[in-house]
Amino acid sequence: MSSSAASPAPVATQAPSLFDPVRIGAIDMANRIVMAPLTRSRAEAGLVPSPLAVDYYGQRASAGLIITEATQVSWLAQGYISTPGLFTTEQIEGWKKVTDEVHRRGGRIVVQLWHVGRISHTSLLPPGEVPVAPSAIRADTKTFTPEGFVDVSEPRALGIEEIPGIVEDFRKAARNAIDAGFDGVEVHAANGYLIDQFLRDKTNHRSDAYGGSIENRTRFLHEVVQAVVQEIGADRTGVRIAPVTPSNDIADSNPQPLFERAVERLDALNIAYVHVVEGATGGPRDVQPFDYEALRSRFRGAWIVNNGYDLEMAQAAVREGRADAVAFGRLFISNPDLVRRLREGAPLVEPDRDTFYSGGAKGYVDYPALADTD
Ligand code: 8OZ
């Protein structure tokens, strides 16, 4: 036998597609299409997810992964009417019905946990409470309350001794998530809510260990995520960030180094994924220059991208290795079988904005899937 020349057999390398399975942390996904978190304001008394939520999420179980609507970690974490919680027995029981249905239909689902911080109104909080924030700076924005669409309330600055209690609320809610059957937790660190308020210098004017330097401003995020990781495991923990969104009157004078350090700290915690909103959440992608590749280079886990992706953009991102998965938001509202429609090139239905937050079944569980015969 000649020992000549045989170069190793070429390894079949095929660029990944959006429709290929992927494992993110401990979560096996049938495809790389993620349902983004979407506030729908349909929780019932006690902030328990309604029976309609069982149908709504079940109808969307063909997504590779569903990320639920933002869900409170405590009574003080609420900022909009009828958003659900995950801190009472009734809420856990309500969510269990949702996760059972999604799993029965072959899907995977994580819960997005949030604390809204200053984006709230006294009418939504327990008697005598006001919204809390890193600093006592009122946001120039409005929220939906039982009295309608009103300016948010003046917040008070959190005492440093109160911060461990909020970290603890996230830890407990993460435990509740596992008890409710979720595949994991996404910590909401985007869109100008409490964690983002600590990160960015427009909203964080603290002079203690949680304000000032980038190290200090990323501390609260780090502590919350560390608590979640300790409670449920890094392989079931993800984080959503939106480095340049102006949502909810948020801004930072120098977001690139801030978010690079934030992501480095998440990498050190070994979490399953980072979910990054590119540009203004739900709006233009090019609001401000930002180097997302440099951000990604700081992180070894899975990278989920979001904001205004169509099929072609999403396939290119996955094919070229810029993302492991792509999250779609509004299209999932009106196309419960979005995965099939994208795969088959079927027409997409536009969502009706009037029913985004209107409550009830209309615009929630009545968008049809394609028929089997289509
Ligand atoms: C729209 C309306 C209310 C809340 C976010 C959770 O921006 C939200 C939200 C979106 O992350």
**Residues 19-35: tens digit of each pLDDT:** 999 999 999 999 999 99
Between the CA of residue 158 and those of 136, 165, 198, what are the distances in Å?
Answer: 8, 11, 11
Q: Rounded to 10 degrees, what is the CA torsion of 197, 202, 203, 204?
A: 90
**Whole-number Å distance between alpha carbons of 19 and 334:** 20
Q: Give 81 Cα–ligand 1 centroid separation in angstroms.
A: 12
List 67's β-bridge partners, or say none. 110
Q: Which of 35, 78, 191 to mutate to test the pocket of ligand 1 (most atoms within 8 A of CB)?
A: 191
Question: Of these residues, 193, 210, 309, 367, which one is catalytic?
Answer: 193
Q: Which atom of ligand 1 is closest in space to residue 80's alpha carbon?
A: 3
Q: Give 38 Cα–ligand 1 centroid separation in angstroms.
A: 7
Q: Atom 3, ligand 1: which residue's CA is nearest?
A: 39
Q: Give 37 Cα–ligand 1 centroid separation in angstroms.
A: 8
Ligand 1, pocket residues at CB < 6 Å? 39, 70, 80, 191, 247, 281
> Looking at residue 26, what is its pLDDT?
98
Entry pTM: 0.96
What is the token pair recorded at 7? 């170069």
> Looking at residue 188, what is its pLDDT?
99
Q: Which atom of ligand 1 is closest in space to residue 248's alpha carbon?
A: 7
> Looking at residue 82, what is its pLDDT?
98
**Whole-number Å distance between alpha carbons of 222 and 225:** 5
Q: Which atom of ligand 1 is closest in space to residue 70's alpha carbon?
A: 6
What residues of the chain score a pLDDT lower than 70?
1-12
Known catalytic membership, residue 210: no
> Looking at residue 310, what is its pLDDT?
97
335 CB-contact burial (10 Å; exposed 0-12 / middle 13-18 / buried 19+): buried
**Whole-number Å distance between alpha carbons of 86 and 328:** 24
Task: Name the superfamily (CATH) of residues 67-310.
Answer: Aldolase class I (3.20.20.70)
